[in-house]
Amino acid sequence: MPARHFRAAVFDIDGTLALMDKETGVYEALPGAVAALAVCRARGLATIAYTNGTFFPPEHYYPRLAAAGLDFEQGRILTPAVVAAHELSKAGCKRVMLLGAEGTRLPVEAAGIEAFAPTDAPGAVDAVMLSWTKNFDARDLEAICKAVWAGTPVYAGSTAPFVAGAKGKILGISGAVSAMVEYATGVKPIVLGKPAVYGLDMIAALTGATAREMIVVGDDPTLEIRMARRAGALAIGVTTGLADEAAFRAEPADTRAEIVLSTLEGFGEQNWLDGN
Ligand SMILES: [Mg+2]
């Protein structure tokens, strides 16, 4: 492979840079993660954390990752909610029915969009947005389906069935609700988080790097890796989260990780940074 010049490195958080204890919310950096960020910066790459979680707003992550030794500049931690707010705003949405926690509501409102809980939504909304929350009931699900039956477009931050936690799998609520919505309405929610490439478009705008000039590192072969391959970024899988090497290798060739690492240890000694 001829040396490529990279300008940005995009790291997934859970299972890639760190693992969170679900009870305490405390993050612990995974082996080699702190050094991997440092080597990317030393080689001139902008470093971005892009999680697929929508329960927390980006502000939640800065101090918690910093406490684990993982420092990011303001504006360099993205969630699907931030990407969704950007895309909904671009699409001209003014009023959104939101199934989600503060982690989605705050970025959506910051983009100048009114967000209503499903059962509180006024007659017409421009879109339905599904994201992570545990605070909903059957009335919310029915209100969502009624809006979708009426033709309102429906989006989801993530439709991943689960994410990696320090004590095992954490259920992906918006994925489960999306499956329910599709079952009940026949309409498949449009995913704005990974593996869609909207997040990388936003990172391109933030950093000036094209997708070809990005390294994407993640633990999920179906999320970060597919996103990276679709966009043309270098896709690096790491087996410290959800998937083992066999799971990465089992993906179809055109959406498979180009490199699979057992951990981020030694990230800086690898030859993909030779062009930097
Ligand atoms: Mg992950």
pLDDT tens sequence across 10-56: 999 999 999 988 789 899 999 999 999 999 999 999 999 999 888 88
Alpha-carbon distance of 198 to 36, in angstroms, equals 25
Domain boundaries, the chain: 37-43+52-211
Model confidence at 155: pLDDT above 60: yes
pTM of the predicted model, to two decimals? 0.89
Helix axes 173-185, 138-149, angle to 10 degrees: 50
Alpha-carbon distance of 122 to 13, in angstroms, equals 36
Question: What's the 106 CA to ligand 1 centre distance in angstroms?
Answer: 22
Which is nearest to 257 in space by CA: 272, 275, 274? 272
Mean pLDDT across the chain: 94
CA atoms within 13 A on the CB side of 157: 31
Question: What's the 208 CA to ligand 1 centre distance in angstroms?
Answer: 25
How confident is the model over 192-210, as a mean pLDDT?
96
Question: What's the 52 CA to ligand 1 centre distance in angstroms?
Answer: 7
Question: What's the 28 CA to ligand 1 centre distance in angstroms?
Answer: 14
Question: What's the 109 CA to ligand 1 centre distance in angstroms?
Answer: 26
Question: What's the 144 CA to ligand 1 centre distance in angstroms?
Answer: 28
Question: What's the 84 CA to ligand 1 centre distance in angstroms?
Answer: 19
Helix axes 224-231, 198-207, angle to 10 degrees: 70
> Which residues have CB under 8 Å from 63's CB, separation 6+?
none
CATH superfamily membership of 37-43+52-211: HAD superfamily/HAD-like (3.40.50.1000)
Residue type, 117: A
- Give the model confidence (pLDDT) of 162-189 as tens digits: 876 777 788 899 999 999 999 999 999 9
Q: How many other C-beta atoms lie within 10 A of the C-beta of residue 197? A: 20
Question: What's the 162 CA to ligand 1 centre distance in angstroms?
Answer: 10
Model confidence at 71: pLDDT above 80: yes
Question: What's the 174 CA to ligand 1 centre distance in angstroms?
Answer: 16
Question: What's the 16 CA to ligand 1 centre distance in angstroms?
Answer: 6
> Which residues have CB under 8 Å from 121's CB, separation 6+?
95, 97, 143, 147
Please, which pLDDT band fits residue 2 given cuts at 50, 70 and 90?
low
Question: What's the 51 CA to ligand 1 centre distance in angstroms?
Answer: 7
Question: What's the 68 CA to ligand 1 centre distance in angstroms?
Answer: 16
Question: What's the 220 CA to ligand 1 centre distance in angstroms?
Answer: 6
Question: What's the 218 CA to ligand 1 centre distance in angstroms?
Answer: 6
Question: What's the 274 CA to ligand 1 centre distance in angstroms?
Answer: 26
What is the helix (H) or strand (E) element at residue 145, kind and residue range? helix 138-149
Question: What's the 94 CA to ligand 1 centre distance in angstroms?
Answer: 31
Which is nearest to 160 in space by CA: 180, 173, 175, 170? 175
Percent of the chain with pLDDT over 70: 98
Alpha-carbon distance of 54 to 172, in angstroms, equals 10
Question: What's the 238 CA to ligand 1 centre distance in angstroms?
Answer: 10
Question: What's the 126 CA to ligand 1 centre distance in angstroms?
Answer: 31
Give the dihedral of Cα atoms 56, 58, 59, 63; nearest 10 deg: 90
How confident is the model over 124-133, as a mean pLDDT?
95
- Give the model confidence (pLDDT) of 97-116 as tens digits: 999 999 999 999 999 999 99
Specify whether the CB–CB gap between 193 and 54 falls below 8 A.
yes
